[in-house]
Amino acid sequence: MTRPPSNPASTRRIVIVGAGFAGLATALHLGRLGAGSITLLEGASSLGAYASGRNAGLLLQCSGTRVWRRFFSVTRRYFENHPTTSFRATGSWQLGSRTLLEELQDAHVATSLRSGAECVRDLPILQGSDLDHALWTPSDGVVDPLDLLAHYADQVTSQGADIRLGQPATEIRRDRSERLVVVTPSSEVRADVVVNAAGAWARNLGLQAGGMDLPLRPLRRHLFSYDCPSNPGTPHQPYVWDQSRDFYLRPLADGQWMYCLCDEEPTTALDHALAPAIRERSRERRQREVPRLVSARETRAWACYRTKTPDGHPVLGWDPQCPGLFWVAGLGGGGMSASWELGRWAARILLEDPGSDIEPYLSAVEPQRFASPARGHGDAR
């Protein structure tokens, strides 16, 4: 592992590339720990223009591996205790076979197995769907992504960090003294540490800096909102996620429904254009999965990105090839729900003080796990 710079925190300069959930949460915890002077560079002219601000706002605790579940449950507790995060506990229904749902249950999260009929009584729009078993999690909920980004940004700036919008990192190089230099269209920012939290752009940015070629894959996903006057949604209703058929449905505050067919399309065109024929695919899926939503009027359609690693875990740690480069990437769509605890892990690992709660999982998240196929990843399932 490449060690962090040895200069004291009072003179250490940290530059974080990306002011989405990964960058902001990492900055917040670094600031709390007195890690040094912190500058965040965000390519967009406003927070949330890319993946962080375009997600569905669902916090689902019983999903993913043990690492992700830890991130989700701890972050949820933080949200609950901080009203400006905008978190609302609505509860969630997950659908699937009894075996699948039993595997999703977590000893640290209160859940109960129910019948599909109970879910339909709660969400009548699902009438006509083929439902078997359901898992009810009352402490799950929803968040407004833009409100949460604003909450983190306020916390970060109150600690003295500098957030610079409209400053995309176009190059990372070294100066004559071997310090890292992050180049933007209007400035050059020197740093002792560069945190790569650039989302879908993280892989290319790391390569520019001379770091590892990490297997980070940007995947495009589509979301829709529909107006269905015969079955209006209400904001206090729970959302539903069908784990067998891969779709989710969230009631919105204006009576509409958000629907996602959980598609994941590899792409190199990092724009927000809709994929061809996606509307027809959505209609075909709704016909099978939510028949009552087939005739609903579309009010919005948009694309977002989720960047994944082959093993599904994020990348948190020092680059083994580029001194001073630290990765916070590969969040796979879980950045919002995991943000608080993931940022704490990143800050602790950066400062080489992970603690006994993080130490057992380091091999599951470190960048060098991709350096050799023979290297174990620990038991992080």
Task: Sketch the domain layout of the chain as residue ranges.
Answer: 13-51+145-215+311-370, 92-138+217-308
State the Cα–Cα distance between residues 135 and 244, nearest whole angstrom.
12
Residues in the chain where the model's pLDDT stays below 70: 1-11, 372-381
Q: What is the pLDDT of residue 376?
A: 43
Candidates 307, 310, 360; CA nearest to 335 is 307
pLDDT value at position 7? 62
In Å, what is the CA distance from 323 to each residue of 171, 181, 320, 358, 361? 16, 12, 7, 23, 22
Distance from the Cα of residue 248 to its chain's centroid? 17
For residue 253, the model assigns a pLDDT of: 85
- Kindly list the strands in the beta sheet with 180-183, ordered across the sheet, starting from the edge strand earlier in the chain: 171-174, 180-183, 188-191
| Token pair recorded at residue 109 | 């999260």
- 135: which strand partners? 94, 113
Nearest to 16 by CA among 37, 1, 45: 37
Domain 92-138+217-308, classified CATH 3.30.9.10, yes or no: yes
Check: CB of residue 202 under 8 Å from CB of residue 329.
yes
Burial degree of 10 (CB within 10 A; 0-12, 13-18, 19+) = exposed
Mutual angle of helices 335-350 and 66-80, in 10-degree steps: 100
Read off the tokens for 93: 């229904």
Amino acid 248: pLDDT: 97
Strand pairing category for 193-196 and 297-308: unpaired
Amino acid at residue number 321: Q
Instruction: Supply the pLDDT for residue 90.
Output: 97
Within a 10 A sphere around the Cβ of 88, how many other Cβ atoms? 16
Question: In angstroms, rounded to a whole number, what is the distance separating the alpha carbons of residues 27 and 9?
Answer: 14
List the structure tokens of 343. 């940022």
Other residues' Cβ atoms within 10 Å of the Cβ of residue 371: 13
Sign of the alpha-carbon torsion through 228, 231, 237, 238: negative
Chain segment 231-245, per-residue pLDDT in tens: 999 989 999 999 999
Say what the pTM is: 0.94
β partners of residue 88: 142
CATH 3.50.50.60 fits 13-51+145-215+311-370, yes or no: yes
Residue 70 in contact with residue 107, Cβ under 8 Å? Answer: no
Same fold for the pair 13-51+145-215+311-370 and 92-138+217-308: no
Neighbours of 154 (CB within 10 A): 12
Q: Please, are residues 195 and 26 in contact by the beta-carbon 8 Å criterion? A: yes
Q: What CA dihedral angle connects 375, 378, 379 and 381, to 10 degrees?
A: -70
